[in-house]
C-alpha cells in the first residue's frame, strides 16, 4: 500500500536500471507470493534482452506482481533478441507503452535528478518521434519486421527517422494507429 519512488537506479553500477531495481526490491522486501502489488516503471530506454529475461524471472517468482513499463525510447530496436525480449515480456502480462510528451515531461520534473536551476533544460523528444517509436513498438509486439530506421549524426546532434513500411505492416497494424501517424489518409467515398 506504499508509494515508494526510487530514482537513479542505474547510478554507480554496471547493471541496467531494471536489474538494479529487482535486486533492491527483493533485498528490501520479503513478501508472501499471495500478496499482490503493482509496479510502474518510467524508463529512458526499453529493456534489453538480458533485462527482459531478468524481469520475466522476477515475475515468475512473484506471481502477485503486475508490471507496467513506460519508455521514452526503444533500445536497439532492430536487434532480434531485444525485439523477442519485449514480446516475451508482453506475452508474460507486462504492459509496455511509449511515453507521451506529457508523461515524459512529468517524469523529467518529478524523477530526474538534474542540477538545481536546470529543470527547464529537459531533453525534448518531439511528439512525432514518440509516435514513430510507438509505431515501431507495435511492429515488435506483432512480430513484424522493423519499420523504423534511426540514424544519428553526432557532430550536429541530429537524429533522422526513416520509415520503411511493407505490405505486412499495412495489413497487420490497426488502421487507427497508421491514421494517427499520418502515414495513411482516411478513404473518402464521393457520391
User: Catalytic residue positions?
Assistant: 18
Distances (CA, A) of 186 to 80, 135, 176, 180: 33, 18, 9, 10
CA angle 13, 42, 17 (to 5 degrees): 15
Total number of residues shown for the chain: 191
Distances (CA, A) of 28 to 1, 4, 15, 38, 60: 15, 12, 18, 16, 18
Q: What residues does 73 pair with on adjacent strands?
A: 45
- CA–CA gap between residue 32 and residue 54 (Å, rounded): 20
- CA–CA gap between residue 167 and residue 45 (Å, rounded): 28
Amino acid at each position: 500500500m506504499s508509494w515508494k519512488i526510487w530514482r537513479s537506479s542505474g547510478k554507480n553500477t554496471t547493471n541496467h536500471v531494471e536489474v538494479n531495481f529487482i535486486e533492491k526490491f527483493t533485498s528490501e522486501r520479503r513478501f508472501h507470493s499471495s500478496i499482490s502489488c503493482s509496479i510502474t516503471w518510467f524508463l529512458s530506454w526499453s529493456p534489453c534482452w538480458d533485462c527482459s529475461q531478468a524481469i520475466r524471472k522476477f515475475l515468475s517468482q512473484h506471481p502477485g506482481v503486475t508490471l507496467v513499463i513506460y519508455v521514452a525510447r526503444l533500445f536497439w530496436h532492430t536487434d532480434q533478441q531485444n525485439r523477442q525480449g519485449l514480446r516475451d515480456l508482453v506475452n508474460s502480462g507486462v504492459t509496455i507503452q511509449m511515453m507521451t510528451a506529457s508523461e515524459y515531461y512529468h517524469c523529467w520534473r518529478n524523477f530526474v535528478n538534474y542540477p538545481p536551476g536546470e529543470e527547464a533544460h529537459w531533453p525534448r523528444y518531439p511528439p512525432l518521434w514518440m509516435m514513430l517509436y510507438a509505431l515501431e513498438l507495435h511492429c515488435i509486439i506483432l512480430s513484424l519486421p522493423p519499420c523504423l530506421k534511426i540514424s544519428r549524426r553526432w557532430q550536429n546532434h541530429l537524429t533522422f527517422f526513416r520509415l520503411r513500411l511493407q505490405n505486412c505492416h499495412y495489413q497487420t497494424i490497426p488502421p487507427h494507429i497508421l491514421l494517427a501517424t499520418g502515414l495513411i489518409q482516411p478513404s473518402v467515398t464521393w457520391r
